[in-house]
Amino acid sequence: GPDIPESHPRYESLLTRHRIEEGVDLGITSRQGLIAQGRGEAFDYLLGEETIPSADDAARAAAAHLLSADQPVLSVNGNVAALAPGEMVALAAATGADIEVNLFNRTEARMERIADHLREHGAEEVKGLNADGRIPGLDHERATVDADGIGSADVVLVPLEDGDRAAALAEMGKTELVIDLNPMSRSAQSAAVPIVDNLIRAVPNMTAHAEALAGEDASTLENIIDDFDADAALSAAEERIRDI
């Protein structure tokens, strides 16, 4: 692993960078993923590198959505696989969701490496390799999904999603949960639940909320979902960024 002293003021950020670099070396993360990470870090810095209260509310609402869903799916790309593979497996276990590899720059080699990587981190079934479904309104490669995965899901978690695909999934009527550090990104704007937080913090936080809510009845979950206001969450994040 990296030789970074834990006392370093930017320990977490350096560790995260190392994971992304390693992801590229392993053929899991795309080179564009490095750029995406840099963009995310800038927003994280402006947010104070912490989970702000509105993002915690969003993580709880997202957990309630996953627990209430008929067919929830967690989408994993090259950045997510490098940064939080075990954490995604834990979230899937806590919510009963499926995991599907879904890439912006799709190559068979990267699909398979990511699926293997997830299995090494405890995933039992990894979807995405059948590629027998389509998201309407996108070009062939970017539209490809599994028919029995994202294709028929009612609730989808799309962390770090590209804006076009986020909009196309919302257009299909799916309830979209997005993790994105940029509250002004089109993905965050098209989400039913935008979680403006670092993936590294947001995924374990969602799992903790899901575990805490596991025994609740359907109407309690429904109230949590109804009380969540996406526009207010985006405004709160933007205010936090501007006020620093």
The annotated binding site for ATP is made up of 17, 39, 180-182, 186-187, 198-199
Residue 33 lies near ligand PTJ (rule: CB under 6 A): yes
DSSP string, 50-93: S--HHHHHHHHHHHHHHHH-SSEEEEE-HHHHHH-HHHHHHHHH
Phi and psi angles of residue 78, each rounded to the nearest 5 degrees, phi first:
-65, -30
Sole binder of ligand PTJ in the list 2, 8, 25, 32 (CB under 6 A)? 32
Residue nearest to ligand PTJ (CB): 40
Residue 59 lies near ligand PTJ (rule: CB under 6 A): no
Quick one: 89 or 188, whose CB is closer to ligand PTJ? 188
Residue 234 lies near ligand PTJ (rule: CB under 6 A): no
**Within 10 A of 86 (CB to CB), how many other CB atoms are there?**
14
- Find the binding residues for ligand PTJ in span 124-163 (CB under 6 A): 160, 162
- Find the binding residues for ligand PTJ in span 156-195 (CB under 6 A): 160, 162, 179-182, 185
| Cα 155-36-164 angle, rounded to 5 deg | 45
Residue 105 lies near ligand PTJ (rule: CB under 6 A): yes
Quick one: 77 or 95, whose CB is closer to ligand PTJ? 77
Cα torsion through 117, 120, 121, 122, rounded to 10 = 130
Sole binder of ligand PTJ in the list 190, 198, 205, 207 (CB under 6 A)? 198
What contacts 71, CB < 8 A, 6 or more positions away? Answer: 98, 152, 153, 154, 155
**Which secondary structure element, helix H or strand E, spans residue 155, and what is its range?**
strand 155-159
Sole binder of ligand PTJ in the list 51, 54, 68, 77 (CB under 6 A)? 77
Q: Give contact residues for ligand PTJ (rule: CB under 6 A).
A: 30, 32-33, 36-37, 39-40, 43, 77-79, 83, 103-105, 160, 162, 179-182, 185, 198-200
